[in-house]
């Protein structure tokens, strides 16, 4: 399941990130790496999402969210 398929208010654990290397490096810089907990706070009509990673809110686009594979967090 991708992050884009997730529901608002649920927590997920990142399994893998399959996107362009430059974007992947940027996500690593903000702390979004494998096994990180991500909470979906909101989703916009254009497909972008507001997420919380390590206590900080971030906005990511639909293409990035579709490249992040997640599973439900315990």
Instruction: Provide the number of structural domains found in the chain.
Output: 1
Which residues are 53's β-sheet partners? Answer: 38, 56
Q: CA-CA distances (angstroms) from residue 61 to 35, 47, 65, 74? A: 20, 7, 6, 25
Mean pLDDT across 9-15: 97
- pLDDT tens, residue by residue, 13-57: 999 999 999 999 999 999 999 999 999 999 999 989 999 999 999
pLDDT at site 63: 94
CATH of the domain at 63: 2.30.30.90
User: What is the domain extent for residue 19?
Assistant: 3-72
Phi and psi (nearest 5°) for 18? -120, 75
Q: CA-CA distances (angstroms) from residue 16 to 21, 45, 63? A: 13, 25, 15
Are 19 and 13 a contacting pair, CB within 8 Å?
no
């Amino acid at each position: 399941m991708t992050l884009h398929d997730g529901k608002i208010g649920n927590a997920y654990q990142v399994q893998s990130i399959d996107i362009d290397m430059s974007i992947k490096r940027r996500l690593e810089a903000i702390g979004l790496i494998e096994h990180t907990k991500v909470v979906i706070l909101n989703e916009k009509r254009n497909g972008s999402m507001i997420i919380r990673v390590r206590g900080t809110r971030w906005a990511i686009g639909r293409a990035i969210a579709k490249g992040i594979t997640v599973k439900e967090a315990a």
